[in-house]
Chains A and B, each alone.
Chain A
Amino acid sequence: MHKLERKTYSISFAIPWLLIYGIFFVLPTLFSFYYAFTDWDLTSAKFSGFSNFVEMFNNPVFSTALANTAIFTILSIVLKVGVSLALAMALYHCIASNFFRTIFFSPYVLSYIAIGVLFTAIMHPEIGVLNKALRAIGLDFLALNWLIEKGQVIYSLVFIDVWKSAGFHLAIFIAALQTIPSDMMESASIDGAGPWKKFRYITFPMLASAFNANVIFALIVGLTKFDLVFVTTGGGPGYYSEVLKTLVYKQFAMGRYGLATAGELIIFVIVITLTVTMRKFLDKREVEV
């Protein structure tokens, strides 16, 4: 590299960011590899080997939280990406696309605390708007106890998160759609390609990296979901909607810092492993398409 360039693009530009990021992100991450193996409370941290992990894996709530996190993550990826892709295709062909995009994105700027309370009202079993609407159109059997029955609560939470985030994923798809050259579509039309063929052989391959970004984003967000669950159900009823991050917070709040750090380390390993695996899988698929 040219000497003048090295001077102009001085590394000193990166130092403010590097300092804050190093101290408040990298450092605690490194710390967690130590504190996860200690019996750490407010005052002292004593080395305790794998006992935090043994306790965690023997805790029945941990298995519930793990299962719920898995259900939440898988379903929310499929629904967020599926719904937003369908909406993106609809908006792509619609003359009023900017108007609808503005509406669909707007829930994304609401806080989870606002959304949690809002849906507690909407999903109220007797007087909530959702069940009233379902009964009004004769779908009484669908008027469920959304947020207060054990078998349904995690699915209701997925629905709420899709409601909030579909517009965000939609925006990523729309940004990608705008980069498709229009003459590509026109020449495909001239060659007699129908709508499905155009989607399969032009639009979808052109959307590949936006699709991958959306899947990875939804994956990470799903595995580390906290706010929505904590404010809407608090993990309840009982522990039926507990997820990994809410369990960790509860352990932290009880002063079991070492145990909570072990929980975070488990989440860390899950997130890294699944993200890397998913990335490899998606990259391979992209080459095939």
Chain B
Amino acid sequence: MKTRSLPVGQIVLIAVLSALSLLILVPFYLIFINSLKSPAEASELGLAFPSKLEWSNYSKVFEVADLPLAFTNSIVLTFSSVAIILISAAMAAFAIQRRKDGWSAALNVLVMLGLVVPPAIVPLYKVLSFFHLNGTILGVVLINVATRSPLSVFLANQFLKSISKEIDEAAIIDGCGKYKLFFRIVLPLMGPIMVTLFVFNSTFVWNDFMYVLYFLSSGKQMTLPLTMYLFIGQFGSMWNLVFANILIISAPLLIIYFFAQRFIIAGMTAGAIKG
């Protein structure tokens, strides 16, 4: 695959890339080390090792920032949005990619528009009011699905091109119905792209700040990014707790990313290349 250069070249290359990696790793280290300091030490914002490790910072943040509630809300919001995006996008992509007629062409145009057009957020207020969904997590779930799914339909569509139609035909001849064909045969074959879409959509929804700010900014429905924003307004000078908060809200995605990262390239190979 790769053109192997001289070992000397490799050493130089690795040295340069390692130096550049520090631009990423030092900020991560900064978050971690300062989350374990006393308020006074953390307020220096430095890289020094703390004189005493304050593990209790984490439990303190959970309490002060009301994280258990926000965690629950974020998990409910993220999992419902991502589940609906994955299943509805895969189904839509199946119809769009397999059919070759006016319907699929029209749907394709809608998908492409969804990739480019910025969502009209303010008028959404009107739509949510009509369904009595203002200030509810379900409302924000549906907004996330509507605005973020076009990318998933597009990528799933590209991926389906690599799954031969002959598989469908064989299943149909064996007497397989259309829903069984999709859910039992085609969907399992879409596994790799589903993992990619899971990683990307979880990242987008978990981290979403804008829709939550517009439509959930009050009370019990608050999610992690919003509580963090309010927490900084109140406790911005307690840098140790601020960094502990950053670590807590980032950890779930970092863990998912490290386990699923090899699928990211696979999904992009399917999609972005023909973009």
- Residues of A at the B interface (CB closer than 8 Å) are 1, 4-14, 16-18, 20-21, 23-29, 31-32, 35, 87, 90-97, 100-114, 117-118, 121-122, 124, 127-129, 132, 163, 167, 171-172, 174-176, 178-179, 182, 185, 189, 209-210, 212-213, 216, 220, 223-224, 226-227, 230-231, 248-249, 252, 257, 260-261, 264-265, 267-268, 271-272, 275
Contacts and interface: CB of A to CB of B under 8 A. Distances in A.
A46 B257 CA distance: 49
Q: Which 8 interchain pairs have the tightest Cβ spacing?
A: A24-B146, A111-B207, A31-B123, A213-B275, A17-B92, A175-B268, A13-B95, A9-B98
Contact of A23 (B30, B127, B149): B127
B254 A109 contact: yes
B242 interface: yes
Contacts of B209: 111-113, 226-227, 230-231
B125 interface: yes
Query: Interface size bucket, B side?
Result: 35 or more
A252 B211 CA distance: 13
Given A20-B142, A25-B114, A14 B91 contact: yes
A171 B30 CA distance: 25
B95 A113 contact: no
Q: Interface majority SS on B: helix, strand, loop or mixed? A: helix
Interface string B37-57: 000000011110000000000
A118 B94 CA distance: 42
10 contacts: A8-B168, A10-B95, A14-B92, A20-B145, A28-B121, A106-B28, A111-B228, A175-B265, A268-B118, A271-B116
Contact of A4 (B147, B172, B207, B250): B172
B229 A113 contact: yes
Nearest to A182: B1
A246 B175 CA distance: 56
B24 A24 contact: no
A109 B45 contact: no
A248 B122 contact: yes
A178 B27 CA distance: 30
B2 A92 contact: yes
B10 interface: yes
A58 B225 CA distance: 34
Contact of B95 (A14, A93, A127): A14
B121 A264 contact: yes
Contacts of A102: 258, 261
Contacts of A12: 95
